[in-house]
Amino acid sequence: MSSSSSRIQIKLEDVELILGKELFNTHFSKLVDNVYCNSCRPPGTTPIHIRQIWLDQQGNIYIEGRCHECKNKLRQVIETRNDPDSYGQAMVIWEISEDLL
């Protein structure tokens, strides 16, 4: 993979490695179960059915999927830069993936 690639696809297991087991177990489900959907009537928060997970060069995790209710496309972003451990692990996964491809 060239360094010009802006995102790589990762798995749920990678998200757990990045966030750490404790943070993943306590917060991840809250993040995917409370995504704002403007298409639902009335608009509000809904669970997201995860389709793909991406990691970008800045350590952000993008969870892409569909609204559980109306099937509209939704995205949730988890920023890791404020947590040195999570950001460091995200960069390790980025580097390993870049080296493999």
Average pLDDT for 2-16:
83
- Residue numbers of the domain that contains 14: 7-94
Number of folded domains that form the chain: 1
Structural domain contains residue 100: no
Structural domain contains residue 99: no
Q: Which residues pair with 75 in a beta bridge?
A: 64
Structural domain contains residue 1: no
Structural domain contains residue 31: yes
Q: What is the pLDDT of residue 2?
A: 43
Q: pLDDT-derived band of residue 100, with 50, 70 and 90 as boundaries? A: confident
Is the pLDDT at 4 greater than 80? The verdict is no
Structural domain contains residue 101: no
- Tens digits of residue pLDDT in 62-97: 999 999 999 999 999 999 999 999 999 999 999 998
Q: What are the structure tokens assigned to 72, written together? A: 């509209």
Q: Are 75 and 67 in contact, with CB atoms under 8 Å apart?
A: no
Structural domain contains residue 2: no
Give the residue among 80, 23, 30, 31 at the shortest CA–CA distance from 56. Answer: 80
Four-CA torsion 56, 57, 58, 63, nearest 10 degrees? 10
Structural domain contains residue 89: yes
